[in-house]
Amino acid sequence: MKPSIDRRKFLKQTAVAGTVLVTIGSTTKLRAGGGANNKIVAAVMGTNGRGMDHIQGYLAQPNIEIAYICDVDTRALDKGIAAVAKQQDKKPKGVKDFREVLDDKSVDVLSIAAPNHWHAPAAILACAAGKHVYVEKPCCHNPHEGELMVAAARKHKRVVQMGNQRRSWPWVIEAIARVRAGEIGRVTFARCWYNDARASIGSGKPTSIPSWLDYDLWQGPAPERPYVDNLVHYNWHWRWLWGNGELGNNGIHALDIARWGLAAEYPRRVTCGGGRYQYHDDQETPDAYVTTYEFGDKAATWESHSCHPRGFEGEGFGISFYGDEGYIIIAGNGWKIYDINGKERSAIKGRRDDAAHFANFLDCIRNGGKLNSDIEEGVKSTLWCHLGNIAWRTGHTLNIDAHTGKIIADEEANKLWRREYRTGWEPKV
């Protein structure tokens, strides 16, 4: 058995290789349209939750101005404006409809943190308007939208990064570089998990739309449905019309790391079993399920228990890689490597570093280079989530073309490759 690699020596040896591993994207040099000192002007779409992290991520960088806050909820709009005004001299403008921003040629970036059903339609419109795009995970609501996003980014030569920020965390980069460098031998399996103690979402009741919400615009591209009192702002995650369940919510983070470490593209077979067991309510997506991805010479699994908080390895979220000479556990804020007999060989503690992902995005706009999570790579990882959900919704194993990621000869499953849109909202490239 090979000894554990000295960390300082390892980092020197893999400094270049590690960068190559994690910066897969367009090499075209695309400069921002900003003015003096190459300042980048951004608009943030959706500030009720994750968008507030976007604000902090951008304002931690030099030569960045947030000129617009976009939100259909006037309360979130005011919150976002106030957060920016505390940190930059120029107060941003607040708009409900992000399309107003697309007409402003001084804006270089649209940063999307709206619900999942908005991710692809907004990103595609932004690319067509000449904006670079940072879009939250999962980057698309369905596989067809992912194809369109890649096409839009390439057609309009835009920098588009998905918000799977672990791709830019130094300690995760090091962990994956060690996996790819063979420190645990030939890797044949990755295990991903997520555990939480989510409460029931209850049964929604039709009620009048709150005065602070533009519900028509919130629905946007999705087919119109009556407003109910248990949908906005979070429980849409668990309804297929707008969300992608726990696979799309947290699974994308873990499966993206698994795909990265395994150096895998598309699986050959996908199976998924589980259900909504804990509560009887409006949730349509499972609260407990296991998805398996088979590649012929290796495999990966995703296991989620949304209503039971105890996870594996003492952590609620993590990824483990298993090789013929040992295994590595990436969980919490660090990783540990063990030999095949379970003896710890090396370990590191890290920290959350979301600003690094925004810094990589802005640097690629200014100077060209490669993104840590170019949209094409983001779409591939997101497809794993979609395939798991499609397998669960159809109730059968999916056979996949390992070269294209397409579902083979399965009419029922292929109906879920794309979605229905409200009239006039279907994204096009």
- Alpha helices by DSSP H, 186-313: 215-219, 245-246, 252-262
CA angle 122, 215, 227 (to 5 degrees): 130
Rounded CA-CA distance 194/315 in Å is 8
Residue type, 389: N
Determine the angle formed by the axes of helices 252-262 and 170-180, rounding to 10 degrees.
40
pLDDT at 25: 36
Q: Considering only CA atoms, which of 6, 20, 15, 21 is closest in space to residue 257?
A: 21
> In a 3-state reduction of DSSP, which class is residue 104?
coil
Peptide bond into 233 cis (omega under 30): yes
> In a 3-state reduction of DSSP, which class is residue 16?
helix
Q: What is the pLDDT along the chain (429 residues), one digit of tens a residue?
A: 444 555 555 554 444 334 433 332 333 444 444 444 699 999 999 999 999 999 999 999 999 999 999 999 999 999 999 999 999 999 999 999 999 999 999 999 999 999 999 999 999 999 999 999 999 999 999 999 999 999 999 999 999 999 999 999 999 999 999 999 999 999 999 999 999 999 999 999 999 999 999 999 999 999 999 999 999 999 999 999 999 999 999 999 999 999 999 999 999 999 999 999 999 999 999 999 999 999 999 999 999 999 999 999 999 999 999 999 999 999 999 999 999 999 999 999 999 999 999 999 999 999 999 999 999 999 999 999 999 999 999 999 999 999 999 999 999 999 999 999 999 999 999
Rounded CA-CA distance 40/31 in Å is 10
Question: Which residues are CB-contacts of 2 (< 8 A; sequence separation ≥ 6)?
Answer: 183, 325
Q: How far apart are the first and last CA of the chain?
A: 52
- Alpha helices by DSSP H, 252-306: 252-262
pLDDT at 53: 97
Rounded CA-CA distance 158/142 in Å is 21
- Alpha helices by DSSP H, 7-129: 7-22, 51-59, 74-85, 99-102, 116-128
Domains contained in the chain, CATH given: 1-20+176-351+375-429 (3.30.360.10), 21-166 (3.40.50.720)
Rounded CA-CA distance 21/16 in Å is 9
Rounded CA-CA distance 174/348 in Å is 10
Q: Are 5 and 71 a contacting pair, CB within 8 Å? A: no
Q: Considering only CA atoms, which of 202, 193, 414, 429 is closest in space to residue 309?
A: 193
pLDDT at 7: 55
